[in-house]
Structure 1
Amino acid sequence: MTKREIYLVVATVLVMCIPMSILAYQSKQFSNLPSSVFDWNSIKAVKTKTGEKRQFFDSPTATLDNLECHVSTLNPGETAHPPHQHPEEELTIVKEGTVEVLVNGELKKVGTGSIIFSAANQLHNIKNAGTTPATYYAIKWKSAKTTNAVKTN
């Protein structure tokens, strides 16, 4: 084997290691969410311009392309975002406070313990309609059907 052939083999091995390393990193990064416990006190609250947010998880699962859960706290009078829509469905559970939500083109006011379901591609938003902070869980999921969800608006 010549010196040139040895260099060629070494270069080929090194070049092949790069994509293999990337694939290994991605498979670890996007592994399925295992059964887990997320302690409220261990999730860092990040200040936002409207209150704060705790990101609990955002990962694929054994049956979903992605499952995401965060908890947001809105200061009195604040809106999380303008009305928007996305192809995934979303479940919002009010932990405390009073919120006003856009559902099916109507504004509805609900309080602690209420559950809001936002269907795929439906305009929705949420606003703190009370005089104290309002906190809610937001849970979204993506499946094989998500990308094929029919737009209704």
Structure 2
Amino acid sequence: MKPTTLIKVLILILTAQKSIAQDLKTATALTGSKYTIENCVNQFELEKATKTKVGYQYWFADKNFTLENTLKMSIVEPGKSTHAPHHHIEEEFFYILEGSASFFLDGKTVVVGPNTSLYCPSNVEHGISNAGQTELKYLVIKKDRKEK
């Protein structure tokens, strides 16, 4: 292997090790001081939900509590959606708990019911709306990623 190639490989390895070490340090610091059995168990309470224009949402965990992961429940009134189709860097999962959802992904639409998961790849246009006559209740799960 050429000396310049070897140096580049070593730099990449050292950079990766530094990043991993920082992530472990952050996780250890958070685990040691932030997480308890009391704040790691979160039972839905309507009084603590946030009202939206189309229903309400409840954050079970946001990226400030976890290491960039989020878990939110959205409840949407019949015929409404939380927002227009959009895209973002983060991958996203929806899990339908109750009701009927119209799921838009990359130009196509399908209607699904409870116990169905929906995956939204990074940077692909997607959206979800209530296609039924009752409330649509679903979980939104994603990991916050920074633009590269």
Q: Which one-letter code corresponds to 2:101 in the other structure?
A: V
Q: Hey, what's the Cα distance between the residues in 2 that align with 1:42 and 1:131?
A: 21
Structure 1 moving runs of 4+ over 2 Å: 30-35, 59-62
How far has the Cα of 1:71 moved from its partner? 0.6
For 1:50, the equivalent position in structure 2 comes to 54
| TM-score, structure 2 normalization | 0.69
| 1:135 to 2:140 alignment | no
Q: Deviations over 1:32-89 (max 9, x none)?
A: 6747211113871222110111112212688x5x111111100000011001000010
Q: Which one-letter code corresponds to 1:141 in the other structure?
A: K
Q: Tell me, what secondary structure is at the counterpart of 1:40? A: coil
Q: Which one-letter code corresponds to 1:87 in the other structure?
A: I
Q: Hey, what's the Cα distance between the residues in 2 that align with 1:91 and 1:76?
A: 21
Identity %, equivalent residues: 30
Cα contact 2:96–2:116 (8 A) shared by 1: yes
For 2:76, the equivalent position in structure 1 comes to 74
How far has the Cα of 1:133 moved from its partner? 0.3
Q: Tell me, what secondary structure is at the counterpart of 1:76? A: coil
Q: Deviations over 1:10-38 (max 9, x none)?
A: xxxxxxxxxxxxxxxxx9xx946747211
In our comparison, the structure showing a higher alpha carbon Rg is 1
Q: Deviations over 1:87-132 (max 9, x none)?
A: 0100100010000011232011000011000000000111100000
Q: Which one-letter code corresponds to 1:40 in the other structure?
A: F
Query: What 5-or-longer segments of structure 2 have no aligned partner?
Result: 1-25
Q: Hey, what's the Cα distance between the residues in 2 that align with 1:108 and 1:119?
A: 16
Query: What 5-or-longer segments of structure 1 have no aligned partner?
Result: 1-26, 149-153
Bigger helix fraction: 2
Q: Hey, what's the Cα distance between the residues in 2 that align with 1:57 and 1:43?
A: 16
Cα contact 1:31–1:60 (8 A) shared by 2: no
C-alpha RMSD of the superposition:
2.5
Q: Hey, what's the Cα distance between the residues in 2 that align with 1:50 and 1:77?
A: 9
Q: Paired residues, what number?
A: 116
Residues 31, 43 of structure 1: CA spacing in aligned structure 2 closer, same or farther, 3 A cutoff?
farther
Equivalent residue in structure 2 for 1:41, among 40, 45, 48: 45
Q: Tell me, what secondary structure is at the counterpart of 2:82? A: coil
- After superposing the two structures, state which structure 1 stretch, 30-39 or 88-97, moved more: 30-39
For 2:100, the equivalent position in structure 1 comes to 98
